[in-house]
Copies of this chain bind each other. A is one copy, B any other.
Amino acid sequence: MTLSGTAVVMLGFLALRPRSGYEIKQAVDRSTRYFWSASYGQIYPELRRLARAGLVEAEDAPTGARRRTVYRITAAGRDEFQAWLADPGFGLEVRDESLLKLFFADLLTSEQALALVRARQAVHHRWLGQLRAIDVGPPFVGGQAFPDVVLAYGIDFSEWAATWWESMERRLIARDASEP
């Protein structure tokens, strides 16, 4: 059984505690979304697939007349998740349109290139604000140490990147000043 990326992150959150599809989406959006996102269009169909495969179990848990289904990971699901987790191999894919634009930025004016560099900078500053807000809030996953390690990585990387793009901005400005 090969788990898709979405299946794996869902199983991971269900391994911590039972949740509804809606709650899984919230968990992803509050934590892994920077490096592993998931949309409702994937989550709900995938929950059904996982249930058919016996990796999770569904339970009706309505709030009043509003229907709600909570999923619980099974022993088989836990085994699958552990197997994925224990394998030290991993995929790492990046689709970075700003680096791509910068790559071809010789075809831009100085002003346009500068705008690009500043837009990129802004992204890192925004992330930094968001991640620091998580950092000072209550722990996302109680008793778990590694989510904090990942958060620390996010903050450290954002700081490094913000600084890198700021110094790139200064270099571009200096270059423009010397060449008319």
Binding site for B on A (CB under 8 A): 5, 8-9, 12, 15, 31-32, 34-37, 81-82, 84-86, 88-108, 112-113, 115-116, 118-120, 123, 143-147, 149-150, 153, 156-157, 160-161, 164, 168
Contact = CB atoms under 8 A, between A and B. Distances in A.
A55 B62 CA distance: 54
Contacts of A88: 112, 115-116, 118-119
A148 to B, nearest CB: 10
A93 B143 CA distance: 29
Nearest to A37: B93
Given A15-B107, A103-B146, A146-B104, A95 B93 contact: yes
Could you say how many copies of this chain the assembly holds? 2
Q: What DSSP secondary structure best describes chain A's contact surface?
A: helix
- Nearest 7 interchain pairs by C-beta: A90-B97, A35-B96, A90-B98, A105-B146, A88-B115, A93-B95, A35-B99
Nearest to A8: B100
A144 B147 CA distance: 42
B168 A149 contact: yes
Contacts of A123: 92
Contacts of A15: 104, 107
B164 A103 contact: no
Contacts of A82: 107
